[in-house]
Copies of this chain bind each other. A is one copy, B any other.
């Protein structure tokens, strides 16, 4: 028998024999079940020591590719099915941390619970979704332009919608060209595409902590190590951010400057400047997630980081999900020219293109002028609902509780008295029809946490008052159990993180 043996290779001769025999078996040159030559004979044919061949045969047996029968010889075989089962836990990608992924599912499973007092979902409420108007836009697109908008679109997005988005960014003080806008399947895809373009396994990402669970998840799914930077009333702590940048040399800084999820706070004007300077000084790209920026109902809008970016290192992303319709799954990312082609290419291999039908209907809806009226309506409703929730919290939460009072968005952040674990009261709350997200979900290393994320956007004021009353009673009892003392007075609206 002839086998290719190369004494110049680093691979030991016995392994070369194993591989050569496996190749012949795979290629059909040796039939499944054939008897191998006696080791003495093969050693002579190959000009190698007999022990080398014995080692090779032993290795084949160990690999399940041969069976040794005493006195009869060694028989090659295509490994039986049962010999090499696929072990999925070994077959999955290395490096990606599944923990974040599991948590995002926990987050969602609470959010979609159908309870009377649903304070867990960061979704625009059904009563404020413009179903009829958007249905009209869909019909206009299908009836007026028919099949042309039912086919694939280009990866970067429907050109008229990209132009509308660029113009809208201009109206908000950030003039950009339509060519820098890439339509995404919701803002989550914007986060994911940015992560894919920039992160390799082991890279460090800095972001607010508490922070957006699905961003943790996206970064960890790419094998990145996420480090959290504390947040106060003015947003991410710039001093701690710079220390972390120096210490950890991050590849990416992810920020939610407006109505941060889960705290609802905004990054102050001074902090925006500081954060940009830190990013410039240390040459760290920023992903600015402005998913809820258009939902400001109080205070003054602050310039986006992107609008102040002199050096092309800020990626800005937003979405129509929060301000219009989640079911659209249409968002966008506005990127520096240096990486635009890379992002478009990644978009294409990720899901080819975002639904052209929905993009075209959205474009028709936006150009009809109905979006501004819709936004006025929802902002007024969210303001009323925030007020109702803040009043109810003051009336019903145990003494020592604090909460944020956001100027926009759909949610706020409650801190119960020290020692209470919000996760422990969730089951009791659900049993009484109240859902919320326990704070632990928004920390990188979940521990006992006295925090709750409550969304006020999804319920009418009366529902909010009743739900918070129930939640307050549950929290009171938890406090009594935890602190072995009865609450003395009601909490205050002192935002304290």
Contact = CB atoms under 8 A, between A and B. Distances in A.
B282 A108 contact: no
Contact of A81 (B28, B81, B280, B348): B280
Interface in A1-52: 19, 22-23, 26-28
Nearest to A203: B93
A281 B79 contact: yes
A353 to B, nearest CB: 7
A484 interface: no
A300 B129 CA distance: 48
A174 B328 CA distance: 32
A198 B329 contact: no
A282 B78 CA distance: 10
A313 to B, nearest CB: 5
B352 A87 contact: no
A196 interface: yes
Nearest to A142: B135
Contact of A139 (B88, B135, B282, B283): B135
A138 interface: yes
A27 to B, nearest CB: 5
A488 interface: no
A100 interface: yes
Contacts of A62: none
A92 B357 contact: no
With a 10 A CB-CB cut-off, give which of A85, A199, A326 has the most chain B CB atoms.
Answer: A326
Interface stretch (A162-170, A181-189, A365-373, A442-450): A181-189
Given A152-B326, A339-B88, A351 B185 contact: yes
A221 B197 CA distance: 9
Contacts of A138: 135, 138-139, 142
B342 A98 contact: yes
A112 B154 contact: yes
Nearest to A313: B86
Nearest to A87: B283
A95 interface: yes
Nearest to A27: B243
Contacts of A94: 200
A214 interface: yes
Interface in A187-207: 188-189, 192, 196-201
Classify chain A's interface size. 35 or more
Contacts of A201: 200-201
A366 to B, nearest CB: 16
Contacts of A336: 88
A295 to B, nearest CB: 16
Interface in A285-334: 285, 310-313, 321, 325-329
Contact of A349 (B26, B132, B218, B348): B218
A151 B327 contact: yes
Given A284-B86, A329-B354, A101 B312 contact: no
Contact of A328 (B28, B129, B284, B355): B355
Given A135-B143, A221-B349, A345-B104, A281 B152 contact: no
Given A26-B242, A351-B192, A84 B185 contact: no
Contacts of A131: 142, 146-147, 150
Contacts of A246: 19, 22-23, 26
Contacts of A251: 91
A142 B150 contact: no
A269 interface: no
Interface in A371-411: none
A18 to B, nearest CB: 10
B352 A329 contact: yes
A438 interface: no
Nearest to A220: B349
B327 A153 contact: yes
B342 A101 contact: yes
Q: Top 5 A-B pairs ranked by shortest CB distance?
A: A101-B345, A126-B147, A88-B338, A135-B142, A327-B357
17 contacts: A23-B243, A81-B280, A92-B197, A98-B342, A104-B348, A105-B341, A105-B345, A121-B152, A151-B326, A152-B327, A186-B351, A188-B349, A201-B201, A221-B345, A329-B351, A329-B353, A329-B354
Interface of A: 19, 22-23, 26-28, 78-79, 81, 84-89, 91-96, 98, 100-102, 104-105, 108, 112, 121, 123-124, 126-127, 129, 131-132, 134-135, 138-139, 142-143, 146-155, 184-186, 188-189, 192, 196-201, 214, 217-218, 221, 239, 242-243, 245-247, 251, 277, 280-285, 310-313, 321, 325-329, 336, 338-339, 341-342, 344-346, 348-358
